Amino acid sequence: MTKPNCPYALICKQRKTSDCTDACVRYTEMQHLLVSSTLPRARWQPVKLYPTCEKDTIAFKQLNAYKETIARHVARGDNLYICSNSVGNGKTSWSIKILLKYFDSIWYNNGLKTRGIFVSTPELLIQLKNFEHPLSIEYIDALYNCDLVVWDDIGCSNSLSEYEYNRLLAIIDHRIINKKSNIFTSNITKKDQFAEKLGGRLASRIYDTSKVIAITGGDLRGAAVSKVEENHD
């Protein structure tokens, strides 16, 4: 039987044929990678993004180059910081494209391991304080130790409590020390602004260890400038 929500649905030649079965190894491995990443199902297909200004043409080329070599960056423990003063101009979409490309690069014979996680940082901070329904030990362990974590909207809070700050710092610090890769997205474009908002130690961990790519264009959400890609390139 054919499989719903297959991330390769648009390009797989076996789609809707007798060879498209539940035994498809690529489907099984990718399904696990996507589900365990906690990436929303609606974002399982990458979108194609178009720069809206000349400066972003350069930024998008840099981001695409990073995406195409993401397996190498993860192997080295590299970090990426995608930032912009504007909202809705592709920061999150680029981080997801890079995460999906990593999964596409390493799915074969993965063995159903959690290799990457997408984190909405504001939601994580709320969950960390939910003592009635705490996050699972397995999820916390994956945050500390999986290959790649996307920290979406880090720095969006006006301030962090001491508890929130210490938990977030502990996870990020552990990952950086142990060469576990991270992708951060934020509306904060300067290190001193980040330090003023969320503390110098966290700003130092993120800025001093990351390749910083700034996007300057406007909101893409209301413009007809994105579409579902036909592959994972």
Cα(188)–Cα(108) distance, rounded to whole angstroms? 37
| Alpha-carbon distances of 227 from 45, 46, 48, 67, 99, rounded to whole Å | 10, 9, 5, 18, 18
* Assigned domain for 7 exists: no
* More confidently predicted of 81 and 229: 81
At 122 the pLDDT is 92
8, part of any domain: no
The tens digit of pLDDT for each residue in 71-108 reads 999 999 999 999 998 877 899 999 999 999 999 999 99
Please give the torsion angle defined by the CA atoms of residues 96, 170, 146 and 192, in that order, rounded to the nearest 10 degrees: 30
Query: Is residue 33 pLDDT above 90, yes or no?
Result: yes
> CATH code at 194?
3.40.50.300
Task: Say whether pTM exceeds 0.75.
Answer: yes
- pLDDT of 225 strictly over 60: no
- Structural domain that includes position 33: 25-228
State the pLDDT at residue 220. Answer: 58
Q: Judge contact between 110 and 60, C-beta under 8 A.
A: no
- Amino acid identity, residue 44? W
Q: Is there a domain that residue 15 lies in? A: no
DSSP, residue by residue, 128-146: HT-SSSPPPHHHHHHHHHS
pLDDT at 136 over 80: yes
Question: Kindly report the CA angle at 110 between 122 and 174, in degrees rounded to 5?
Answer: 40
Tokens 């880090």 belong to 154
Q: Which helix (H) or strand (E) holds 183?
A: strand 181-186
In a domain, 3, yes or no: no
Judge contact between 171 and 184, C-beta under 8 A.
no
Quickly state the pLDDT bin for 23 (edges 50, 70, 90). Answer: low
The answer to whether 211 touches 78, Cβ cutoff 8 Å, is: yes
Q: Is residue 19 part of a domain?
A: no
Of 150, 87, 93, 86, the residue nearest 123 (C-alpha)? 150
Please give the residue that has the higher pLDDT: either 5 or 83: 83
Per the structure, how many domains does the chain have? 1
By CB neighbour count within 10 A (0-12 exposed, 13-18 middle, 19+ buried), where does 138 fall? exposed
Structure tokens at 205: 């961990």
